[in-house]
Chain A
């Protein structure tokens, strides 16, 4: 099995790496994984506000990437494909949870839901330790955004996707996505002002 060294693959584009992996180079996958692991995980964790679920979905997302690497067609950026998978897994997870947990709408403007999810033990030490920090406050504010706005914002800042790509992934129109991003940023700026 041909294996490329990390150093050789590190400078490659995502698309080149996934193609290499599809040809059997496991090292290319590792480079790709380490490059995007945290971005995907933060996207999941801050949307779901549950580290354990984020871990679970992170694993599912990358399993899917490994399984479907050969089907990846470089007509879109790798990150668009990657975050599409992450989005779909997350939506599936939310649907399953809705059946088991009586939540009106997970992630919507429900303060109860927000408190319930942010009370997750794995998340609380961070919040407690840096609660007074502006950065931590911003992250908390992000997590408290309405779900659609939060997801659009996270896809943009974590996935580095543009409005069109976000609209395609979330199944929304361009204008709707643009509005969600605008509202999200307005709220976050407002929060920062209040914090200051």
Chain B
């Protein structure tokens, strides 16, 4: 009944010869053409905003990707020679700058404390190293708390022991730890005191070095961009250029999002006629329904997009 009344009204409107003045049409179109012809700051502003946000987002993403690489203790094989080993200096003579502050919570070795007082914390780490042992293992084995991996020449051990006896209590904390790990006599002790979780202790004692690095390597810096998500986003926003790139990359064209919506569905509901045409031309399924059972055709009709609906029907949409 409602439709009938509306239909009568529309019929009546069609019969009504009243029309707006032709001069109004002329003025409006001239005005619009004049506005289109000149640069409008208001028109540019909204395009700047996404550009700025996009730049910031790209910079953030790049930072997330680059920072872990810079501080990664396991560089790729071809860059092993140039990578900076982020670890405790293996030499007892090394300046304490890198190790000492990071081990502030370790027991002090001065004031009569035995120089190897903190050794158990190092000895007790036969647990699997949080750092995988690829190319950089040679550099990190001095701190790897596994007996099998500590291969310190005897003369070095003796030299270190002498140095330690000369300056007992004066060595930096990090150095004494290393020495303890390097002591051949400590091997049994290390094995006996082995307990899981020691590696975590080690990481906790060195938040600036190992802990931070293992955290950085343990989890990816950022999830990889989903190509199908990029495809859907391009389709939904009408970014035809990006859409062509995605389609050229052979991304599955009907890959749905979490709600079951395909790129075609998003393009249709978003009124993106160009995206719809492009997707259909590339063989997108015109009847792929989302989780609610809504098809692209229904979405286009709901969005009052008759042109898109017609295109979908031509492609076989029901």
Contacts and interface: CB of A to CB of B under 8 A. Distances in A.
A11 B273 contact: yes
Nearest to A130: B15
B36 A126 contact: no
A59 B274 CA distance: 30
A13 interface: yes
Contacts of A139: 9, 12-13, 16
A164 interface: no
Interface stretch (A16-24, A90-98, A111-119): A16-24
A177 interface: no
A185 B8 CA distance: 12
Given A16-B272, A26-B37, A29-B36, A42 B13 contact: yes
Contacts of B37: 1, 24, 26
Interface string B1-41: 11001101111110111111100110111011101110010
Contacts of A131: none
Interface string B34-62: 01110010111110000000000000000
A133 interface: yes
Contacts of A133: 12, 15
Nearest to A41: B20
Contacts, number: 133
A136 B15 contact: yes
Interface residues of A, number: 56
B171 to A, nearest CB: 66
A26 B28 contact: no
B147 to A, nearest CB: 65
Interface stretch (B84-92, B161-169, B184-192, B302-310): B302-310
Interface stretch (A70-78, A81-89, A102-110, A167-175): A70-78
B18 A13 contact: no
6 residue pairs, one from A and one from B, having the closest CB atoms: A135-B12, A70-B43, A13-B271, A26-B36, A66-B32, A26-B33
Given A26-B33, A135-B15, A157-B6, A16 B20 contact: no
A62 interface: yes
Contacts of A15: 271
A14 B271 CA distance: 8
